[in-house]
Amino acid sequence: MTPREKKLAAITGLMAVVLGGFFIWNQVSTALENRHSAIASLDQEIADKQSTIKRAGQATKRLNQYEQRSLPASQEVARSVYQDWLLDLAEQAELEKAKVTVSRAPNSNGVIHRLPFNVSGIGRLDQIALLLQKLYANDHLHLIRGLRITPITDSRKLNVTIGIEAAVLPGSTNENQLTNLANPWLASTNSKKLVDKIIDRNLFAPPNHPPKLASIGSKRAYVRRKLSFTAKATDSDPLDTVTYELSKTAPDGSQIGGSSGQFSWTPKELGTFEFDILSKDDGIPSKTARQTVRVTVVEPPKVVVTKPPPTRPRKPGFDIAKHTYLIGTTERRGRPEIWLQVRTTGKIHKLSTGDAVSFGSIAGQVAKIGNRDAEITIGDQQRILVRIGENLLEADKQPAGGS
């Protein structure tokens, strides 16, 4: 073999080795890629399974929670106890004409049974807000589907209807009663802030105006003597009622009538005292006006005792009864009658049984008429018997009912 042929053979062999190595490497790398892809696919499948297991665990946990919050598994029991509970909430909120009805249940969705209820009544905005807070403060498996509020003309009250849907799960842990679980946020004392936010602006009425408290000014009081005066406030809102109260700086023992505004206090020491009188309306939201009162307590003035002048004997006054005489008795139209003459004027008064008698110190009515005398009742305990020719002061006195 010539050198040229040897060289060609060497080149050919080298190329064969290179091509063989490339083919082998291609096969190996392809197999490795397929293996890595298979491993990645298995890892993804494992992750998906683990995610499914995790979601199933979370769903099971939520289901357990729902079963704890669910109404009793028996639908009849659930309707009864939940309806009673709703009515109790409405009464706690002091709704007028409170009523709870059960609507027709919709078709069940799988294992879940839905029970619809309606709560209706009449109340103020703050009462309705309180009812909603109490409704969700208890962590039952329920929700509000509808809320309708209608203002009542010339009133601060509202007609309210609340549509509620409660759920019943067959695995409910509550047999004959509702759950006692509470919503940790709405059941706390902080829920008052939520109620205050709702009633901070009454959407069903014009803005509330504060009352106007008339000026009270400074007062002067005497130690150990009662001081009293009346605070007066007016309110431009016709439906508002104003009440009164004292600030915390008011002196001990002082008080004010909540509706009258009548202030009273008996100071026990000398000094100057400043405090506020507040007038507060019941609008939504409530508005307050205040006046600062300054009371200066001093010693009472000394009392000068003067001796009263001697009393003089009182002169006897003129009594017309002394000059009124019984001058006769008669009968007129079947009724007995007496004639009394006032001699100072000459006038004759003709009176029958039951007629009023009023002559000077004698005042009463004719009780009985005889042939020559007459009885006159004076008050409830006494009568006088006057005879013909006698004046009223000369009449005999006798107990009532005498003859």
Q: Give the model confidence (pLDDT) of 155-190 as tens digits.
A: 889 999 999 999 888 888 887 888 888 877 666 656
Domains of the chain, start order: 75-199 (3.30.70.60), 212-298 (2.60.40.60), 320-399 (2.30.30)
Q: Identify the residue whose tokens are 């009812």.
A: 131
Q: Which of 22-36, 147-161, 294-308 has the lowest mean pLDDT?
A: 22-36
Beta strand spans in 282-372 (E):
288-298, 324-332, 335-342, 347-352, 356-359, 362-369
What region, left, alpha or beta, does residue 97 occupy, with left being phi > 0 and alpha being psi -120 to 50 degrees? left
Average pLDDT over residues 33-40: 85
Contacts of 352 (CB under 8 A, 6+ apart): 332, 335, 336, 337, 338, 366, 369
pTM, rounded to two decimals: 0.53
CB of 377 within 8 A of CB of 397?
A: no
Q: Give the model confidence (pLDDT) of 56-86 as tens digits.
A: 777 778 878 788 888 888 888 988 999 999 9
Q: Give the model confidence (pLDDT) of 184-234 as tens digits.
A: 766 665 666 777 777 777 777 778 889 999 999 899 999 999 999 999 999
